[in-house]
Chain A
Amino acid sequence: MNELLHISSNPHIRDKATTGKIMLDVIIALIPATIVGISVFGLKALLLIIVTMISAVTAEAVFQKITHQKITISDGSAALTGLLLALNLPVSLPVWMAVLGAVFAIIVVKQFFGGLGQNFMNPALAGRCFLLISFGTAMNNFTIDGISSATPLANLKSGMAVDISKMFIGTTAGTIGETSAIALLAGALYLLVKKIIHLNIPLAYIASFSIFVIIYCLFTGRGLDWEFLAAHLCGGGLMLGAWFMATDYVTSPITPRGRIVFGICLGIMTGLFRFCGKSAEGVSYAIIFCNLLVPIIEKLTIPKAFGREDEDNE
């Protein structure tokens, strides 16, 4: 033997999963929703998606270059942020606003706090909320086939009827990626099968939100209105939020019980924002608000070690 042997601590083998592969899987899972978005909203949607993704990746590379860090765009996280942001934008949005949103998401929300894994808010959603606050009119201008129209939830809020089957397929007004419940669920199934996400957060979110809606219905004299519930579950980005953004590893709790608590908080906050707030939509705000609760949720839900279940942690 003429070569030196490698020395390192155990274990000496590693699983094949890498950060890059996980990000790629999430991007793959978003493909159905992206395709539906493009086919419903046209080529402008495709343009927004491409521009936003390129802006996000470029912003990350440029920032890391300027600050003399290792450029890590190959991990796919910036591309994913760009895609998620684009799917959360209305198709009518001017391209430069989308670019601004992507740059804000990557530089202010992610890189200023230390890059991947360090941000405390979901960058794509923070980018969206930044745009919502800055350009309220443009961000709320939902068009379909070039005609401005209200989102199903806005219609519901003003007391109009909605077409659930259209909402399920995705041919309604809304942001590019949020309208098709079926496409989003297909992607979610892919993530579950590939074990990228757990059921706990989305399930706790959807269940607690459903309970909130049912209680709301009962208290406001609607009775058990299943159609109203279904519309609220399919509309307003709940599916996109619950399966793809609430499950963002970085900004959700790492503790198993914490994930359930997080999901419940999301359900309640979404309900409050939707029914008590001025806007018809509440998922984005609920998620970034609950992102802020993650440290405290984790602290309160530290698991008990094996064989020490009967002891207090403190």
Chain B
Amino acid sequence: MSILTFIGGVHPNDGKDLSKDAGITEYKPQGQIAIAVSQHIGAPASPIVKKGDYVKVGQKIAEASGFVSANVHSSVSGTVKGIEPRLMASGSKVDCIIIENDQKYEETEYEKPKSIDKLSASDIRELIKEAGVVGMGGACFPTHVKLSPKNEDEIEYIIVNGAECEPYLTSDYRRMIEQPEILIEGLKVILALFPKAKGLIGIEDNKPEAIKKLKTAVKNEENIEVKPLYTKYPQGAERSLIFALTGRKVNSSMLPADVGCIVDNVDTVFEIYNAVINGRPLISRIVTVTGDAINNPSNFEVRIGTNQKELIEAAGGFRVNPEKIISGGPMMGIAMSACDVPVIKGSSALLCMEHDEVAAAEERNCINCGRCVDACPSRILPSRLAKLANAGNMEEFESLNGLECCECGCCSYVCPAKKNLTQSIKVMRREVLSSKRKK
């Protein structure tokens, strides 16, 4: 059997050794909790609590305002202090419901759902929607929308994305080796929605332990298969993953469902289980706190809304002053101006780096070496597109398929001239897309 993979990609140092053996530990927030009303793609949720209200753990505090939107629940018990804009990891300000944590963690009464065999497909979707589940790989697309494709009967594969190709991240890995059975049960919930579909779990082969555990867990499952993938970034990008597992190709104007696939991240599948089997909403996630500037790299189960600064303390604080702190992984994560920001549903990691390689790199002329072309998983010409982007040439940028860029960062990573290709292309893409929206 040939090893499953895609064309292009890069092999950065994966840095996972720092935190991969740190078991998931629960972190209880100390200070105030700030729960953003917009943690997902789509319309922000509308708050349904007001200043002075007492809320319990798991209580819905903001309601989805439209189909593409997601509910938000309280992750602690305490008093609502108000609703005010707070700085997010992305650098923008978002309205947050501020809750004074009373440290009692008093839970709302969850209504235990019926057993899975008695639930209809629409019941399942409703439970997922109610629980506010979104894609936890980072994009935060509302899961109930993803699970309601137009061509429901044509869905052939439900893919669990366990590639975790971003260097340094180990949250999915820990979930896979600590709770493999729950992942399988979660996948079975999704499969119940699509009777014709087969479940595939794709895991990069740098995680043999996870592959072994999940293979054991699916031994008696006829309809689920664990597929080891060649370790190469961005193996876990949706398009790369679908291609590696099924040989089908998705471009920027298609959805995975168009080729009969639905892809969900490991943590998302876990939350689907939690929502449908336990009737519990999404109120926490696993955050990897790591990097060479951190004393004790850790994997924490963190309540949504926890201040990320607390997580650094919980991981033993800084070993040295970091030059750069990244929300997410080093390839696609966002550099933060401050870590005094709340955890949201898509916060996969807090990566603290002693040195900033980007600032240290000296930019030189492009020598046309073509490494960016070889590395690009979208098979476009990054160096050319970056040049067009910098020149503001929208038309040619589009005709050379600049919109196909998935912003994975491979081109900037490999560039020997240290050009910020991804950045140039990303900016131009946004510009083209927004000018299209205006039309």
Tally A residues with Cβ within 8 Å of B: 43
Known: A254-B381, A302-B400, A305-B251. A11 touches B330 (CB 8 A): yes
Q: Is the interface of A mostly helix, strand, loop or mixed?
A: loop
A314 in the interface (beta carbon within 8 A): yes
User: Given the complex, which residues of B lie within 8 Å of A255, measured CB to CB?
Assistant: 370, 373, 381
Residue ID in chain B nearest A117 by CB atoms: B365
Q: Are A13 and B381 in contact (CB under 8 A)?
A: no
Q: Are A115 and B323 in contact (CB under 8 A)?
A: no
Q: For chain B residues 1-43, which have a beta carbon within 8 Å of chain A?
A: 7, 10, 12-13
Question: Which residue, A9, A250, A303, has most C-beta atoms of chain B within 10 A?
Answer: A9
Which among B91, B323, B332 is the interface contact of A10 at CB below 8 angstroms? B332
Q: Are A9 and B251 in contact (CB under 8 A)?
A: no
| A304 to B399 Cα, complex, angstroms | 11
User: Given the complex, which residues of A lie within 8 Å of B249, measured CB to CB?
Assistant: 306-307, 309
Question: Which residue, A19, A118, A302, A304, has most C-beta atoms of chain B within 10 A?
Answer: A19
A66 in the interface (beta carbon within 8 A): no
User: Given the complex, which residues of A lie within 8 Å of B359, measured CB to CB?
Assistant: 6, 8
Known: A10-B332, A117-B365. A306 touches B378 (CB 8 A): yes
Residue ID in chain B nearest A314 by CB atoms: B399
| A15 to B413 Cα, complex, angstroms | 6
Q: Are A14 and B407 in contact (CB under 8 A)?
A: no
Q: Are B364 and A10 in contact (CB under 8 A)?
A: no
Q: For chain A residues 2-43, which have a beta carbon within 8 Å of chain B?
A: 2-3, 5-15, 17-19, 21-22
Q: Are B416 and A12 in contact (CB under 8 A)?
A: no
User: Given the complex, which residues of A lie within 8 Å of B364, measured CB to CB?
Assistant: 18-19, 72, 75, 116
Mark interface residues in A251-268 (1 if CB within 8 Å of B CB, else 0).
010111001000000000
A158 in the interface (beta carbon within 8 A): no
Residue ID in chain A nearest B242 by CB atoms: A307
Min CB distance B422 to A, Å, is 6
Q: Is the interface of B mostly helix, strand, loop or mixed?
A: loop
| A19 to B414 Cα, complex, angstroms | 11
Min CB distance B412 to A, Å, is 5
Q: Are B416 and A116 in contact (CB under 8 A)?
A: no
B377 in the interface (beta carbon within 8 A): yes
Mark interface residues in B225-248 (1 if CB within 8 Å of A CB, else 0).
000000000000001000100000
Known: A18-B418, A19-B364, A307-B251. A254 touches B330 (CB 8 A): no
Known: A15-B416, A305-B251, A306-B251. A10 touches B333 (CB 8 A): yes
| A18 to B334 Cα, complex, angstroms | 25
| A17 to B375 Cα, complex, angstroms | 14
Which among B7, B251, B335, B407 is the interface contact of A12 at CB below 8 angstroms? B335
A1 in the interface (beta carbon within 8 A): yes
Min CB distance B167 to A, Å, is 7
User: Given the complex, which residues of A lie within 8 Å of B416, measured CB to CB?
Assistant: 15, 17-19, 21-22
Known: A12-B357, A254-B384. A19 touches B331 (CB 8 A): no
Min CB distance A202 to B, Å, is 15
| A9 to B423 Cα, complex, angstroms | 6
A-B complex: 3 closest residue pairs judged by Cβ atoms: A307-B251, A11-B409, A9-B423
- Chain A positions near chain B (C-beta within 8 angstroms): 1-3, 5-15, 17-19, 21-22, 72, 75, 77, 115-118, 249-250, 252, 254-256, 259, 302-309, 313-314
